Every structure is written in structure tokens, then in C-alpha cells.
Structure 1
């Protein structure tokens, strides 16, 4: 019987991978609704995921970019409408 050693991963990498995916999803969702809330959360999660050394840095960077885009969409809508609230 041949036993293989489990893949060596740093502690917290799985958490960082989850944060990277969550930041991407929240950033994407924030483009449609609650961009004032979801944008900063996506940015924070992406930053922590990158800091912890995620195995999915592309998703973390996309989450970071989408979180920034959420805030830019909010600023554009506030400039166009003059209020923080908006609807479709």
C-alpha cells in the first residue's frame, strides 16, 4: 500500500481563496445593487486575500477592480441624480 503525503499548503490559504472568490462575487453584485456597501467590502476582502497570499490572485484583483467600479458607478449616479438612492 502506497501512501502519499497531502499537498502542502500554508495555513489560511483556503480562507484567502474563499475571500478572493467572495470579493469577486460581491464586487460583481455591487454593480447592480447596494454598491455603497458591497464595493468597500469587496475591496477589503480582496486586499486581505492578496495579503494572505491567495492561490487565486486573479479573482482577488478582479474583486478589487469591481469594488472600485462599484464606487465609481455610485459617484456617477450621485452626480447624475443628486441623491445616493437610485432605481432601475
Structure 2
């Protein structure tokens, strides 16, 4: 049986919390710019944070939702413009 030290568990939880916050921020920024890149990154970070048991579950879920919204916005504008990019 492998036992982890309390400091290691705290570091892992802090890393998961950081990933949850990063996914939220990247998802939020991705709605406006670079949504082709930032959307999937936000989704992956949110999933990893949730899998690792983040204490900031709400932020991770918001990051996941915003990452998905990034891709929905991208696809909507792709249908309108028939391009992979969009501008204001």
C-alpha cells in the first residue's frame, strides 16, 4: 500500500485548484479571442482538475462550460463566415 505524505496531498490539491482557476480564466478569455486554442485547453484543464478532486469545483465546472461555449461560438461564426477565424 502506498501512502502519500500530507504535504504531497496538499500540493496535489493546490495544483488541482490552480487548474480549475486556469480553466475558468482561459475559458472566459477564449470566448473573445483564440477560442480554437483556448476552448479545448480550458476543457482539458477543467476535466483534470475535477478528476483530481479540486476544492474549487464550481470554477472547474464554469471553466468546462466556458470551454464548450468557446467552441460553440467558434462553430457558429464558422457557419456564418465560412472561415475558421472571426472578428468583431
TM-score norm. by structure 2 comes to 0.88
Counterpart Cα distance in 2 of 1:13 and 1:59: 14
Q: Name stretches of at least 5 consecutive residues in structure 2 with no aligned partner.
A: 1-5
8 Å CA contact 2:21–2:59 kept in 1: the answer is: yes
Report the 3-state secondary structure (helix = DSSP H, G, I; strand = E; otherwise coil) of the residue aligned with 2:87.
Answer: coil
Superposed displacement of residue 85, structure 1: 1.6
* Structure with the greater alpha carbon radius of gyration: 1
Distance of 2:85 and 2:52 partners within structure 1: 35
- Superposed displacement of residue 86, structure 1: 1.4
CA RMSD of aligned residues (A): 1.2
Distance 2:42 2:15 in 1: 15
Kindly report structure 1 stretches of 4+ aligned residues shifted beyond 2 Å.
Answer: 8-11
Runs (5+) with no aligned partner, structure 1: 1-7
CA–CA separation in structure 1 for the residues paired with 2:76 and 2:32: 14
Query: In the TM superposition, what is the alpha-carbon distance from 1:56 to its structure 2 partner?
Result: 0.3
What is the SS of the residue equivalent to 1:83? coil
Query: How many pairs align?
Result: 81
The separation in 2 between residues aligned to 1:87 and 1:16, in whole angstroms, is 33
TM-score normalized by the length of structure 1: 0.88
